[in-house]
Amino acid sequence: MNKKALYAVMLAILLPLVSYFIVKKKSEHAIIMPPHYLYDTVVSVVKREKKVNDTIWHKLADFSLKNQENNPVSWNSLKGKIIVADFFFTHCPTICPTLTRNMKRMAESIHNGQKVGDRMNKQVHFISFSIDPERDSVERLKYWADRYQINPENWWLLTGEKKIIYNLILNEMKIPVEDGYGIDTSFVHTDHFVLIDSNRYVRGYYHGLDSASLAKLSSDLVLLTMEKGKKEKNFLAGKLQLIAVVFLLAIFGVGLLVYFLRKTNK
């Protein structure tokens, strides 16, 4: 084999190998998934003969409420869904209309990537909990939904027992309590949007009146749709090194075949 052919084979082997490790290194640092926020406990486990700490994340407690369509709903009704939740009441004279409009923009911006047909991303669901369920009846929520043209297929307004709703807000999601913005101090009035993954773990808190915070929520929401569960492994997971080696061997084999063919022809 002459020098040019040898250099060509070496380049064909080294270039894919170098490219693979560059891409692998960058991909490991490019994507940072939204963190977990609430945990129940930390336990020590043995993994690969090493003792490590394993965090048990807090799974939000179930609930039983009704949506604007008068349908009973719970977390089981949202199984496998990623949730964006906020908190409002229909008699609110301050921030609630703006929160609802901002939630509506987000709900309409999240789609499944299709250019035609049904573009709704059925992996994501939006929920607005009423913090004034005594006045916010199902009929009242339906009025609010009609006013803002809320699609019940991907966005529910929920009402029900006040104790259940306030337990979710204060004890489960750990939402900071504000004073009602000087209007009504009897409510847990907050502008927070909460991102909840399909395992019912809280993955982020965002201010629904702040454009930069909402942009971060949109970005984190997209990342969360790409996240795989512990039992859901990508088809190529753990196989990239093997694929790279096979690819290089194939190139080397082609190089050797060309060499021997040329030698035979001579």
Higher pLDDT, 160 or 230: 160
Q: Which residue, among 182, 100, 178, has the nearest Cα to 136 in the 3D structure?
A: 100
Give the whole-angstrom CA distance, residue 210 versus residue 190. Answer: 13
Q: Which residue, among 160, 183, 164, has the nearest Cα to 172 in the 3D structure?
A: 164
Over 70: is that where the pLDDT of 13 sits? no
Judge contact between 196 and 60, C-beta under 8 A: yes
pLDDT band at residue 234 under the 50/70/90 scheme: very low
Predicted TM-score (pTM) of the model is 0.73
pLDDT in tens, 62-75: 999 999 999 999 99
